[in-house]
Amino acid sequence: MKIKRPELVFTLSFFLVAALIVQMAMYSLHLFSNWNLMFTVLEACHNLFRAIGISSMNVMLEMLILSTVGLVLITLVKQIVRYVTFSKRLTVLSDESMTNHIIEQFDLRHSLNVIISDAPIALTYGFIKPKIVLSTALVNMLTEEELRAVICHEQFHQQHRDPLKKFFITLLFTSLWYVPILKWVSKHYQTLREIEADRFAMQQTNNVVDLSSALLKLLKNEHRLRHAFAVSFADTSVNDRIQHILSPEKEVHATLPVGTIVYSIYIVLGLTVMFTMATP
């Protein structure tokens, strides 16, 4: 099974984001230190813009920087509060007996916690040392082989620190909302990670039926937890994942949003010109 990644779009998005962050940092540095960053020709262009009456550009750029930084801080604080609350709740609901039983049953070496809940839950959360969380309802609902497939799926997310990556992409998408390609990247990156986790689970268990039946059981119960710091087993990309599980030999294609890419480049280039002209 080969997954065709739109790596070009991901790379382009990374450079667009990096370019914006660097320009914002340079402009902010100029404001605070009056550091002359540009050459004489750019200084002449800046004076030309002033001469034709473009004086509110600086105000707009400063508002853009402040709003971006503000959204970053708000998102960070909001997610940290949710993370702390979520962690405390899981600690209270923890079932140590069931946790130890699952760890011994599947000979697990990674962090795993079973919580008492009537809702079927399977997710991986945490940044530096992500932990797998299963609910007692899920453990009782699935067969042993189905549960093994779900655990293997979550182990992929755990080993690759996918919750941290998801949080980082969510932070960029939220704070840099004016770069439309980031929304596409956020959606399709999560889709590809879920498909890769499914593929890893199928390779580890050598069984497609158990993974697909587990996914369908969770979908039937329709209980999904969505957090920027957590990756849930049945959280996203359901149709693509089912098609991949049923036909793993087929390649996964993603239609590239040419219009969105061009528009995003246009926005970044426009901001680049504005930052250049606004910095004498």
Q: Confidence class of residue 74 from pLDDT cuts 50, 70 and 90?
A: very high
Tell me the mean pLDDT in the region 59-87: 87
- Is the pLDDT at 130 greater than 70? The verdict is yes
Residues 22, 179, 229, 243: is their CA dihedral positive or negative? negative
**pLDDT higher at 45 or 101:** 101
pLDDT for res 151: 92
Q: Confidence class of residue 41 from pLDDT cuts 50, 70 and 90?
A: very low
pLDDT for res 269: 87
Q: How far is CA 76 from CA 48, 82, 91, 167, in A?
A: 40, 10, 22, 9
**pLDDT higher at 12 or 113:** 113
pLDDT for res 191: 80
Tell me the mean pLDDT in the region 175-184: 87
pLDDT for res 156: 92
Tell me the mean pLDDT in the region 125-140: 89
Tell me: the pLDDT tens digits for 213-251?
Answer: 887 777 766 555 566 666 766 665 666 666 666 665 656
pLDDT for res 37: 45
pLDDT for res 247: 62
* Residues whose CB falls within 8 Å of the CB of residue 232, separated by 6 or more in sequence, listed in order: 121, 122, 123, 224, 225, 226
Residue 107 is classified by DSSP as T
3-state secondary structure of 131: strand
Q: What percent of the chain has pLDDT over 70?
A: 72
Q: Confidence class of residue 134 from pLDDT cuts 50, 70 and 90?
A: very high
Q: Confidence class of residue 1 from pLDDT cuts 50, 70 and 90?
A: very low
Quick one: how far is CA 32 from the chain centroid? 33
Q: What percent of the chain has pLDDT over 90?
A: 9
- Is the pLDDT at 44 greater than 60? The verdict is no
User: How far is the C-alpha of 230 from the C-alpha of 93, rounded, in Å?
Assistant: 17
Closest CA to 150 of 127, 179, 121, 125: 121
User: How far is the C-alpha of 31 from the C-alpha of 101, rounded, in Å?
Assistant: 60
Tell me: the pLDDT tens digits for 13-40?
Answer: 888 888 888 888 877 777 666 544 444 4
pLDDT for res 108: 82
pLDDT for res 66: 85
